Structure 1
C-alpha cells in the first residue's frame, strides 16, 4: 500500500489527504446516476468506506438500447458500432444485432455491484497515483460484501454504516458526520425533503409498496439519534430511555440492536437475515455456508431468549 494513508491525515509525514474523502463521495453519487444501483447508506472514513446498495433490476430492464449505450459511454468508450449509433449513423441489420448483443452485456454490468466498485475504485486509485506521482496498487484488496435478506438486516446494516463516524469518535452527532448519507438525509429533512441522490424512504410495508426503503424516514432518523446517543456515551447497561418504535416493529431487542451497532461487520460474513432466508439463499446459490446459517440461528435464539427474559423489551 506504499505505506500511504488512503484519505486521512498521515501521522508519519504530516501530509493531509482529507480532500480524497470528497473524491469518494462525489464519484459514488455520480456513478449511482449511471448504474441501476441505488445508494441506501454510505460513510467515507479515513482508511476505508462503506456503502449499502440496492440493485434496481426493474429500472435497468426498462432502459432502451439508446439509454444503455449512453450510460455505458459515460464509463467507457464502447465499441465502433456504439460510437456510430450515438452519432445517429445508420447501422445495417448485422451491425445492429451485434450492438444489441453487446448492449445486453452492458445492461447486466450496469446493475452489477462488482462493476460499480471497479469503476469507483479504479478512478480513485488513478487520481491518488497522479497526486502522489507514482504508479501501482492503491487499494489493499477486493471489496467485501454482505447480502441483506430482510428488513432487520437492512436496518441494522444501514445504521451501522451511518453511525461509523460516531463509533470511531470522529463526530459527536449524525448531523456533524461529514461524508455520510445520514448527514445528507438530515439536511434535506429540515426542509421536508429527501435527497434525490439517495434511495428514498417509502414508509412501512404495504400493498402496493412504492419503490424505496421500507421504513418511515422520521422513524429511522429517531433510531439513529437514539443509537448515536448510546454509542457516544458508551452505555452498555440498562436502557432507561424510551425505545424508538421502529425496533418494536422489527422485533429487535434494544440491547441486541446496540450490540449490532458496534459489531455488525464482524458478526456476519456473506449473508445476513433470518435463518430460513439464509438457507434459501444458500440453496439458490448452490453454496454450503454452514457458518452463515449457524450465525443466523444463534442470533434468532438470542432474540427469543431475551424476549422471554424481558418481555417489556427494555428496562
Structure 2
C-alpha cells in the first residue's frame, strides 16, 4: 500500500530526494515511436525548459535530471529557507506566474486597495502559497499536469498519462546522493541514447559541461503554451558543487565538480565492455584523476533504483516486525 507523501518527505531527515515519473500504457514521453511512426522528440526541449523554470520559481534546487523516452529523473534539494526569505509580494508574483489565483489576489497585484477583511484573506492565502512553493508534491503537480494535458491532446485521447503518482526516494547520505546523481546522469548512456555523458542531450551533466540554457526562448515557449503566465525571477542555476566540507555553512553539494565529472566518466568506462552502456575506452576521459574502487560503487551507481526498492522493502518489513 502506498504511504502518505508526508511520511516519505522529511526535511529533518534529508533535503535531498530522487524523483521519477513514468508514462502509462507504453506511451512515449519523448523520442520516436517506431510502432506508430510518431515522433515525440519536440516535447523534450519543453519538458527540460519547464523543469528548469519551475526549479527557479520554487524553493527547490535542482541537482541532476535526465529526460528519457518514457520517463524522467530528477534529483532535488528542498530549501525551505529560500521561501521563508521571500517577501509576500515575491511569493504572490511567483505563484501568480503559474496560477491566476483568487480575485482578491489579482486586485492586490494590480495595486488596488483592499479593506481589512480582504487583507486578512490575502495574508492567509500568501502563507498557503509560500508553503506550496516549497512543497515537492506541488512542484511535481505543476510539472506533470501540463505535460499530461499536452500529450493527451496530441494523442487525441483522455485518461492517465503517468502510470502512478511520482516516486520519491530519500537520499540519506552523501554516498546515496552521489551515486543517485551519477545514476541519473548515466541514464542516456545506459539506454544507448548517447555514447558519452557529455553527448547526452537533455541531462544535467551536459548542462554543467556546456551551459547554454536559453531563458528567453524557454519563457516564450511556456507562455505560448499557456503553461506560464510570467517569469518574475532570474533563472536559478543547477545546484553548485562546493568541494570538500568546510567549517562554515554549505548550501551546495559537498563534492568538487571536477571529481564528480571524473567519477561519472570513470563509472561509464568500467561497466563491462560487452554491455551497451560501456563508454569506449578510446575516448579521452573527461578528467584523469580517480580515487574510488569499483565494486560497491558500480552497484550503487548502475543499479540505484533496484537496490533502493530492495532496501526500502527490507526497512518496511523491519518496521512492521518492530510494531
User: What TM-score results when the alignment is normalised by the length of structure 2?
Assistant: 0.75
What residue ranges of structure 2 are gaps of 5+ in the alignment? 1-23, 213-234, 276-284
- Is 1:289 aligned to 2:316, yes or no? yes
Structure 1 unpaired stretches of 5+: 190-194, 236-240, 248-252, 273-287, 295-315
Which range moved further: 159-168 or 261-270?
A: 261-270
Using the TM superposition, give the Cα deviation of residue 200 of structure 1 relative to its aligned residue in structure 2, in angstroms.
Answer: 1.0
Tell me the alpha carbon deviations over residues 240-298 of structure 1, each in whole angstroms, 9 at most, x when there is no partner. Answer: x98723x4xxxxx53111111221111113988xxxxxxxxxxxxxxx7345999xxxx
Q: 1:16 to 1:231 in 2, by over 3 A?
A: farther
Task: Please say if residues 35 and 116 of structure 1, whose CA atoms lie closer than 8 Å, have aligned partners that are also in contact.
Answer: yes
Contact persistence 2:29–2:68 (CA under 8 A): no
- Distance, in Å, in 2 between the alignment partners of 1:169 and 1:13 is 21
Match of 1:173 among 193, 196, 200: 196
User: 1:30 & 1:70 partners in 2: Cα distance?
Assistant: 14
| Structure 1 counterpart of 2:133 | 110
1:230 has 2:270 as partner? yes
Report how far residue 43 of structure 1 moved.
Answer: 0.5
Structure 2 CA distance for partners of 1:2 and 1:290, relative to 1, 3 Å: closer
Which string of whole-angstrom CA distances, capped at 9 and with x for unpartnered residues, describes residues 183-219 of structure 1?
A: 1111149xxxxx9531111111112133211111101
Q: How far is the alpha carbon of 1:48 from its aligned partner?
A: 0.5
2:168 corresponding residue in structure 1 = 145
- Give the distance between the partners of 1:57 and 1:271, measured in 2 at CA: 28
Match of 2:290 in 1: 244
CA contact (8 A) 1:200 1:212 kept: yes
Alignment partners' CA distance in 2, 1:65 and 1:210: 26
Structure 1 stretch 89-98 or stretch 51-60: which is displaced more? 89-98
Deviation at 1:161, TM superposition (A): 0.4
* Maintained 8 Å contact 1:7/1:46: yes
**1:197 partnered with 2:220:** no
Deviation at 1:102, TM superposition (A): 1.4
Given that 1:268 and 1:292 are in contact with CA atoms closer than 8 Å, whether structure 2 keeps it comes out as no
- Larger helix proportion of the pair: 1
CA radius of gyration, larger in? 1
1:42 Cα deviation (Å)?
Answer: 0.3
User: How much does 1:156 deviate?
Assistant: 0.8
Partner SS for 1:269: helix
The answer to whether 1:187 aligns with 2:210 is yes
| Residue of structure 2 equivalent to 1:16 | 39
Q: Is it true that 1:52 corresponds to 2:75 in the alignment?
A: yes
Question: RMSD of the alignment, in Å?
Answer: 2.6
In the aligned structure 1, how far is the partner of 2:295 from the partner of 2:319? 22
Distance 1:128 1:60, change over 3 A: same
SS in 2 for 1:136: coil
Distance 1:217 1:292, change over 3 A: farther
Equivalent residue, structure 1, for 2:226: none
What is aligned with 1:250?
A: none
Task: Find the aligned partners of 1:270 and 1:40 in 2 and give their Cα distance.
Answer: 24
Higher relative contact order (CA 8 A, sep 6+): 2
Shift of 1:75: 1.2
* Conservation of the 8 A alpha-carbon contact between 1:148 and 1:271: no
- Paired with 2:39 and 2:28, the residues of 1 have a C-alpha distance of 9
